[in-house]
Structure 1
Amino acid sequence: MRIGILNTGNIGDRLARAWAAAGHDLVVAKDGEDRKLAPLLAELGDKARLGTIREAATFGEVVLFSVYWPRVEAIVDIVGDALDGKVVIETMNPLGVTADFQHFHDLDFMRDGSTSEDLQARLPRARIVKAFSTLAPPVLEAAAWSASPVPPGIFYATDDAAAGHVARGLIGDAGFRPVNADPLRAARQIEQLGVLLHHVADHEYGGDTDLIRLGLTVVEADPSPIVRERTA
């Protein structure tokens, strides 16, 4: 499969490695200094090449939209109609930034919307899928969970069942378990999980930096739920 990655940052570079190893062909782009991608390109060899944001959008049958939230409008202006009809997997969280570059969740925005719904409105002919937004980049690699009895799930949401099927396969290729949250509106709850994880990192683990250790998954009871007769 041809995959374009906009923007190849901390999330995009990890998924690029996994998807190249799974046999996909990539064009990677950087919203900023693309010279920073030289080590990644050297590592991936003929499985990936450098392109502009527009070139990566045009190349991909599937496009990873892993863009810094305040830069969305600018990137959408660059890609124009290049994403029409394509599966677009977006990884964003609605993070604002203060004057001294402290990030925070935009809770007012999150109350009535999601980055996925916003992007779908901006790109009405694209097939938006929410995914890969609940794991911090340092643990967005299957190897980080090699000693864990239960790998984390990657929740995804979309209004397009066929696009969801494609995303499901790419989540598996990255080494994770896909968990279908359907429909796209469920991206609101997926993004709110990020707020929950920050609370858990602070109060259970003693510091926000511990967020990088945390993942969520769905665990099924085995062999079955234990049903007891109700008592009065």
Structure 2
Amino acid sequence: MQIGIIGTGNIGASIVRALSAAGHDVAVANSRGPQTIPADLLVDGARPVTSAQAVEGAEAVILSVPLSAIPTLAPLLSDLPEDATVIDTSNYYPGRDGEDLLPAGTVESLWVSEQLGRPVAKAWNAIGSASLATKGAPAGTPGRIALPVAADRSIDMQRARALVEETGFDAYDAGPLAESWRQQPGTPAYGTDLTLDSLPGALGRADAERAPERRDLVVGVFSSWLGAGVNPDAQWGVAVARLICGGPAGAADDSTAEH
């Protein structure tokens, strides 16, 4: 598949590595230009290009940028064929993206779709960057982490799920974009590294009213440790997310020891 990926932060970089290693024709871009694409992202054939070049001829375009940058990408996608799939990996963090960017209660992926003027799929947004980089596993591996995928169009759901699988995770059909608030930060499915058996229950326990508060609590815990010069590992991050956001069954849904 011809894939354009815009964004080379921690999430985007892991997706570039995984999908190029899987044999896809991956064109990768960032906001600073192709000359700044790290060489280690290109070892399996990914091509450094401009953002405009990344979307040319792409069957799927993956956007891995801060939510506040999404509106700037709309012109790039205006000529993309209707049947191409756009996959958004972003999440809203007010401290980074702006306190007034989204009205309270906004479903983030619906806002993204409105900004871009086209359908999108939501994927890879519910896993921490350290887990995405280190915990992918072949299909059928016991304890394989599952990730929710939301989309309104069947072609987008099919493509996004297939690509998620190729990055090493079970892809779960989490329904339409209107329900994708269940995989936003502060919910039991976000950052908790659950298996396919446990993920549906976590999505069902999501609390739209309390999720923003829990999101901000998690950010506060991370910021406190990072401010003290400590960079916690993936397992620590999962434990924090499960404790704050996991819900009654969240901390006991899965053992992370096997991942």
Q: TM-score, normalised by structure 2?
A: 0.68
Partner SS state of residue 135, structure 1: coil
Task: Tell me the equivalent position of 1:225.
Answer: none
Task: Tell me the equivalent position of 2:39.
Answer: 39
CA contact (8 A) 1:5 1:28 kept: yes
How far 1:172 moved relative to its partner? 0.6
5+ residue gaps, structure 1, are 98-102, 221-232
* 206-215 or 66-75, which deviates more: 206-215
- The 2-side partners of 1:164 and 1:106 are apart by 31
| Richer in strand (by share) | 1
Task: Tell me the equivalent position of 2:19.
Answer: 19
* 114-123 or 188-197, which deviates more: 188-197
Task: Tell me the equivalent position of 1:139.
Answer: 131
How far 1:52 moved relative to its partner? 1.2
CA contact (8 A) 1:6 1:53 kept: yes
- The 1-side partners of 2:129 and 2:98 are apart by 17
How far 1:62 moved relative to its partner? 0.6
Task: Tell me the equivalent position of 1:175.
Answer: 168
Query: Which letter maps to 1:66?
Result: S
Question: Structure 1 92/211 Cα, relative in aligned 2: closer, same or farther at 3 Å?
Answer: farther
Partner SS state of residue 102, structure 2: helix
CA contact (8 A) 1:2 1:26 kept: yes
Higher relative contact order (CA 8 A, sep 6+): 1
Task: Tell me the equivalent position of 1:184.
Answer: 177
How far 1:67 moved relative to its partner? 1.5
Counterpart among 152, 162, 167 of residue 159 in structure 1: 152
Q: TM-score, normalised by structure 1?
A: 0.75
Across the aligned residues of Structure 1 and Structure 2, the Cα RMSD in angstroms comes to: 3.4
- Structure of larger gyration radius: 1
Q: Report sequence identity in percent.
A: 23
How far 1:19 moved relative to its partner? 0.8
How far 1:27 moved relative to its partner? 0.6
How many residue pairs get aligned? The number is 210
How far 1:107 moved relative to its partner? 8.9
User: CA offsets, 1:20-74, max 9 Å, x none?
Assistant: 1111111101112433314135422xx2212111111123101101121221121
5+ residue gaps, structure 2, are 191-211, 255-259
How far 1:78 moved relative to its partner? 3.5
User: CA offsets, 1:77-107, max 9 Å, x none?
Assistant: 333322633111100001234xxxxx37859
CA contact (8 A) 1:94 1:114 kept: no
Task: Tell me the equivalent position of 2:47.
Answer: 49
How far 1:115 moved relative to its partner? 2.7
Partner SS state of residue 56, structure 2: helix
CA contact (8 A) 1:110 1:188 kept: no
